[in-house]
């Protein structure tokens, strides 16, 4: 077997082709957009290169057939925040062969160790956690946009090598019309609604700059105390909202205020993989025409995707979560609302408070991803991610 660093356009195409070869017979798999994956490896588009570096390889058998791929990367601003310097590996694809998989894992481990790392997490992204993060181990339903999907046998490859379960990420699901909500949730929601100091409303797309500033404020006061979570700048938030503008639905993005200060948000978008399944990874002219046809004309998008849901620490556990859900529900149950189901990505098992909230709202776990960690010193005690209060 031969390992080759991906450095040319032909090798980049091969890096993508192996994923198609491995998953093409799985009806649940949706081919990721070529451009979205390539952004990860572009220093011009991925700001993680400012403090880090990345490499990727393909693996070929003795006959020259590509049988696997992997990437390794370091973000030095994040790696030093762990108990030991920790790098990442991701974008793993491989035939069902332990020797091939171990050769890919070894390549990532050696490259990271040469750069001072003492552990590697995987499969993860060279960038934000909301994309390409975790190995799917339960719930092999169609993937949401920029979320990983893989064959079930990958779990045996990772755990056979010695990767250990660092934390789990749950994707929660519910149908909009499924039953009522928890009675205690309604009581707290009513209490918040009766308090004039609180205000909950969905956005107006004509004032995105305001919401970008408020998003960054809330995010940085709610998440950056969690290990490995970077601050969000207003510019980054504005870029995110602008990127969502072609599909943005005002009814899916909600903010909560206390004395007119932003204290929480619920950010959802139409689940675009329901449309991207028709473009085969390419948003060329034909892909764009297909996108418009299925999204704008045939309206094939019936699922809303929850990107992020949270509140600044001072306003957690006060019933604001339920109040926001009830505010959204008043719109979701109105005639003509197109989204019949909702999924919430990326709720870690280290966050029991958020798990309790979404389960009270009637969501159930539909998919489970695992973020693994591999300690290079095999005698060192392994500890899972710490729970957050």
CA distances from 97 to 1, 89, 151 (A): 12, 19, 13
CA distances from 158 to 27, 301, 374 (A): 24, 34, 9
Indicate whether 205 pLDDT > 60. Answer: yes
DSSP state string for 127-169 = S-TTSS-SEEEE--PPPPTT-----TTHHHHHHHHT-EEEEEE
CB atoms within 10 A of CB 258: 19
Please name the helix (run of DSSP H) or strand (run of DSSP E) that holds residue 170, with its range, or none: strand 164-175
- What letter does residue 64 receive in the DSSP assignment? S
Indicate whether 363 pLDDT > 80. Answer: yes
CATH number (1.10.150.120, 3.90.1720.10, 3.40.630.30, 3.10.129.10) of 177-339 reads: 3.40.630.30
Q: 173: which 2 tokens?
A: 């699901």
Q: Can you tell me which residue has the tokens 């035939």?
A: 95
Look at 16-20, 166-170, 184-188, 278-282 and tell me which has the smallest mean pLDDT.
Answer: 184-188
pLDDT digits (tens, 9 = 90+) for 272-316: 998 998 988 888 888 888 888 888 777 788 999 988 888 888 887
Mean pLDDT in residue range 137-143: 96
Indicate whether 224 pLDDT > 60. Answer: no
CA angle 93, 94, 100 (to 5 degrees): 135
pLDDT given for residue 237 in this prediction: 85
Top pLDDT among 345 and 122 is at 122
pLDDT interval class at 143 (50, 70, 90): very high
75 neighbors 53 (Cβ within 8 angstroms): no
pLDDT digits (tens, 9 = 90+) for 150-169: 999 999 999 999 999 999 99
CATH topology identical between 2-169+371-375 and 177-339:
yes
Q: Report if pTM > 0.85.
A: yes
Q: Where are the domains of the chain?
A: 2-169+371-375, 177-339
CATH, range 2-169+371-375: 3.40.630.30
Indicate whether 228 pLDDT > 60. Answer: no
Please name the helix (run of DSSP H) or strand (run of DSSP E) that holds residue 346, with its range, or none: strand 341-348
pLDDT interval class at 35 (50, 70, 90): very high
pLDDT given for residue 229 in this prediction: 60
CB atoms within 10 A of CB 194: 9
Mean pLDDT in residue range 193-217: 90
Helix (H, G, I), strand (E, B), or coil: what is residue 180?
Answer: coil
pLDDT given for residue 388 in this prediction: 80
Indicate whether 227 pLDDT > 60. Answer: no
Indicate whether 389 pLDDT > 70. Answer: no
Mean pLDDT in residue range 244-264: 91
pLDDT given for residue 102 in this prediction: 98
Look at 110-114, 224-228, 256-260 and tell me which has the smallest mean pLDDT.
Answer: 224-228
pLDDT given for residue 333 in this prediction: 86
Indicate whether 230 pLDDT > 70. Answer: no
């Amino acid at each position: 077997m031969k390992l080759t660093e991906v450095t040319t356009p032909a090798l980049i195409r091969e890096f993508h082709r192996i994923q198609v070869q491995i998953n093409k017979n799985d009806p649940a798999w949706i081919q990721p957009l070529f451009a979205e994956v390539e952004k990860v490896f572009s220093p011009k588009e991925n700001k993680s290169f400012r403090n880090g570096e990345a490499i990727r390889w393909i693996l070929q058998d003795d006959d020259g057939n590509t049988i696997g791929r992997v990437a390794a990367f370091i973000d030095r601003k994040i790696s030093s925040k762990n108990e030991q310097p920790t790098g990442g590996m991701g974008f793993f694809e491989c035939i069902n062969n332990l020797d091939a998989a171990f050769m890919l894992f070894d390549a990532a481990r050696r490259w990271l160790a040469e750069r001072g790392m003492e552990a590697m997490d995987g499969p993860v992204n060279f960038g934000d956690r909301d994309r390409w993060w975790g190995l799917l181990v339960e719930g092999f339903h169609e993937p949401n946009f920029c979320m990983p999907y893989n064959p079930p046998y990958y779990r045996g490859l990772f755990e056979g090598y010695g990767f250990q379960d660092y934390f789990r990420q749950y994707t929660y699901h519910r149908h909009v019309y499924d039953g009522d909500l928890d009675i205690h949730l309604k009581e707290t929601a009513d209490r918040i609604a009766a308090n004039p100091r609180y205000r909950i409303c969905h956005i107006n797309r004509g004032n995105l700059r305001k919401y970008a500033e408020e998003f960054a404020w809330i995010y940085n006061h709610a998440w950056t105390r969690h290990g490995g979570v970077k601050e969000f700048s207003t510019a980054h938030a504005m870029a995110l909202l602008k990127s969502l503008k072609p599909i943005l639905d005002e009814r899916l993005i909600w903010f909560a205020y206390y004395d007119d200060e932003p204290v929480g948000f619920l950010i959802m978008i139409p689940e675009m993989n329901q449309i991207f399944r028709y473009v085969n990874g390419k948003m060329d002219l034909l892909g764009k025409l297909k996108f418009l046809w299925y999204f704008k004309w045939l309206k094939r998008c019936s699922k809303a995707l929850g990107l992020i849901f949270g509140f600044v620490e001072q306003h957690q556990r006060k019933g604001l979560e339920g109040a926001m859900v009830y505010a959204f529900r008043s719109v979701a149950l109105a005639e003509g609302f197109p989204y019949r189901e909702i999924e919430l990505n990326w709720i870690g098992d280290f966050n029991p408070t958020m798990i309790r909230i979404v389960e009270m709202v009637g969501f159930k776990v539909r998919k489970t991803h695992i973020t693994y960690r591999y300690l290079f010193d095999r005698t060192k005690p392994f500890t899972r991610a710490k729970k957050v209060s």
